[in-house]
């Protein structure tokens, strides 16, 4: 079961990463529009916090353990910031992200795709000799 939870997380990372690689400006503009019209959406960050905890717990026995620990803690911190921070701080952070060049978003997308591939490799789903 825990293997499938981690594979699901890798799939989310891969989907987000590919989206940022293909159409970074459209994705960031849509994100900003959604955040502007639905401020209560930050309550969904509890899912990010939960995914970070799952990664910390289930990733403990996997290869690249330090990577999963740092990534899980980063997910928890990001989720807590977006969920609980004052609206002014959240707005500044999001406006900074949206104002970045498209190439920066593509590097973020490349990083997410890399995390997804490393997690799938650590799970033994890709790159293993039969």
In order along its 130 residues, the chain shows pLDDT tens digits of 788 999 999 999 999 999 999 999 999 888 888 888 887 788 888 999 999 999 999 998 899 999 999 999 999 999 999 889 898 898 898 889 888 899 999 999 999 999 999 999 999 888 876 5
Q: Residue 129 falls within a domain, yes or no?
A: no
Nearest CA-CA partner of 67 in 122, 12, 14, 15: 122
On whether the CB atoms of residues 85 and 39 are closer than 8 A, the answer is no
Q: Residue 107 falls within a domain, yes or no?
A: yes
On whether the CB atoms of residues 76 and 53 are closer than 8 A, the answer is yes
Tally of structural domains, the chain: 1
Q: Residue 61 falls within a domain, yes or no?
A: yes
- Domain, as residue range, for 72: 2-122
Q: Residue 48 falls within a domain, yes or no?
A: yes
Q: Residue 54 falls within a domain, yes or no?
A: yes
Q: Residue 130 falls within a domain, yes or no?
A: no
DSSP for 47-97, written as a single string: HHHHHHHHHHHHGGGSSSHHHHHHHHHHHHHHHHHHHHS-HHHHHHHHHHH
Q: What is the pTM of this model?
A: 0.86
d(CA 114, CA 17): 9
């Amino acid at each position: 079961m825990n293997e499938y939870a981690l594979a699901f997380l890798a799939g989310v990372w891969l989907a987000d990463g590919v989206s940022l690689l293909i159409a970074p400006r459209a994705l960031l503009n849509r994100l900003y529009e959604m955040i502007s019209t639905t401020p209560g959406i930050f309550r969904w960050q509890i899912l990010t916090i939960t995914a970070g905890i799952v990664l910390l717990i289930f990733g403990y026995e996997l290869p690249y353990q330090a990577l999963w620990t740092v990534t899980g803690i980063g997910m928890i911190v990001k989720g807590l910031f977006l969920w609980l921070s004052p609206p002014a701080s959240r707005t500044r952070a999001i406006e900074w992200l949206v104002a970045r060049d498209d190439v920066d978003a593509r590097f973020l997308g490349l990083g997410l795709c890399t995390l997804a591939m490393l997690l799938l490799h650590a799970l033994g789903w890709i790159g293993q000799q039969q």
